[in-house]
């Protein structure tokens, strides 16, 4: 039996953060002919129990994938370590969170990594990230762009029960007192006045899930169904059963969109704005601090068109297909 080539996988994985765990599902779905080797041994510094040089020698290539990993103002000691450059490196599905500003030394280190000849592939999830990388980092190869890779995921089927539609709320842990629950309560009251029943989804598992439960406790919402699970698939189905969603988590919005469910954002960082511009639904972009938040929920909300979902899904799948083809070609896999 021929063994699978080994792929070192680097990212914000195994913390229980919903979107990052979905990234792994996407990569397993589209790169199933590789054996995944996770470099990170621990969830806190020092992240690597085994010397990185030894880990790098044990794999054929390295995939740095998913999420806002190209951080202009902070070096994480996980994502772009120089030891990785001993093997072919493929960067796929990343974004650039520009809202935090820049640190010149961090930008210089990122540029040095992305300009290396062993970086074989750079892929980002929006044009804004591509523009920043090209301008600030001047990589040796041109970054590719498609919608967020979760758009390519095969989602579990759901059946919306006849009767009362569900309004789904997704929060996350923030610093005490930083969430404007008054505005969120007003939004939920608007939903109830339209005949929705409320569902508060803790959209994380593991250590992140434990933290996010604190936001549910802080919410002080009444007459609400609370969904918690250690199964990412169960949490995805909980979103798919909703008729409308309001979410502080980006991938709560992405998954809702791919079910055709309109999702009101409760955060307005780059990735939210860029994704909603892509799907031409800017009217759904809002923030929990905006007093006009309840007005983002009209009595009749337009669903996300099937053609939109099909288009962004196809683009994301094509990007993953191109990644797989390049990796197999480079590693001479037939």
What stretch(es) of the chain map to CATH 3.40.50.2000? Answer: 166-303
Whole-angstrom Cα distance, residue 14 to residue 20?
8
pLDDT (tens digit per residue) in 194-251: 999 999 999 999 999 999 998 888 888 989 999 999 999 999 999 999 999 999 999 9
The residues, ordered by sequence, that sit 6+ positions from 289 with a Cβ below 8 Å of its Cβ are 180, 183
What sign does the dihedral 295-18-175-275 (CA atoms) show?
Answer: negative
Of 3.40.50.2000, 3.50.50.60, 3.40.50.300, 3.40.640.10, the CATH number of 166-303 is 3.40.50.2000
State the pLDDT at residue 44.
67
State the pLDDT at residue 291.
97
- Residue 42 pLDDT level (bands cut at 50, 70, 90): low
Q: Characterize 190-207 residue by residue with b for buried, 16 or more Cβ atoms within 10 angstroms of its Cβ, and e for exposed.
A: bbeebebebbbbbbbbee
CB 92 within 8 A of CB 38: no
Position 282 pLDDT exceeds 70: yes
Report the chain's mean pLDDT, rounded to a whole number.
94
State the pLDDT at residue 95.
96
pLDDT (tens digit per residue) in 65-104: 989 999 999 998 889 999 999 999 999 999 999 988 999 9
Position 2 pLDDT exceeds 90: no
pLDDT (tens digit per residue) in 165-190: 999 999 999 888 899 999 999 999 99
State the pLDDT at residue 211.
92
Encoded tokens for 237: 């189905």
Domain spanning 6-145+313-330: which CATH class is it, in words?
Answer: alpha beta
148 vs 173, more confident? 148
The phi and psi torsions of 86 (rounded to 5 degrees) equal -75, -15
Between 174-178, 233-237, 256-260, 327-331, the lowest mean confidence (pLDDT) is in 174-178
Tell me if the pTM is above 0.85: yes
State the pLDDT at residue 314.
98
- Within 115-269, residue ranges assigned H as helices are 127-137, 181-193, 206-219, 232-240, 250-258
State the pLDDT at residue 218.
86
Whole-angstrom Cα distance, residue 147 to residue 166?
27
State the pLDDT at residue 96.
96
């Amino acid at each position: 039996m021929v063994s699978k080539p080994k792929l070192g996988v680097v990212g914000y994985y195994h913390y229980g953060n919903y979107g990052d765990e979905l990234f792994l599902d996407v990569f397993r779905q589209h790169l199933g002919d590789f054996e995944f080797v996770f470099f990170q041994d621990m969830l806190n510094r020092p992240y690597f129990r085994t010397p990185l040089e030894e880990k790098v020698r044990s794999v054929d290539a390295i995939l740095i994938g998913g999420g806002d990993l190209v951080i202009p103002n902070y070096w994480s000691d996980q994502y772009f370590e120089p030891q990785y450059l001993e093997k072919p490196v493929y960067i796929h599905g990343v974004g650039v969170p520009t809202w935090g500003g820049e640190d010149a030394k961090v930008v210089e280190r990122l540029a040095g990594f992305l300009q290396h000849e062993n970086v074989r592939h750079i892929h980002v999830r929006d044009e804004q990230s591509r523009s920043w990388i090209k301008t600030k980092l001047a990589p040796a190869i041109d970054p590719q762009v498609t919608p967020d890779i979760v758009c390519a995921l095969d989602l579990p089927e759901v059946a919306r029960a006849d009767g009362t539609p569900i309004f789904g709320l997704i929060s996350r842990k923030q610093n005490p007192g930083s969430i404007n629950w008054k505005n969120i309560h007003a939004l939920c009251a608007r939903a109830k006045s339209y005949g929705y029943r409320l569902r508060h989804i803790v959209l994380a598992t593991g250590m992140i899930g434990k933290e996010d439960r604190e936001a549910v406790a802080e919410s002080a919402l009444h007459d609400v169904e609370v969904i918690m699970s250690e199964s990412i698939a169960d949490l995805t189905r909980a979103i798919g059963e909703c008729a409308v969603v309001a979410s502080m988590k980006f991938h709560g919005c992405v998954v809702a969109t791919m079910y055709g469910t309109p999702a009101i954002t409760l955060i307005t960082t780059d990735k939210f704005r860029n994704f909603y511009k892509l799907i031409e639904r800017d009217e759904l972009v809002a923030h929990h601090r905006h007093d006009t938040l309840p007005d983002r929920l009209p009595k009749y909300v337009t669903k996300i068109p099937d053609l939109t979902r099909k288009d962004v899904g196809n683009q994301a799948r094509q990007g993953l297909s191109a990644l797989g083809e390049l990796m197999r070609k480079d590693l001479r896999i037939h």
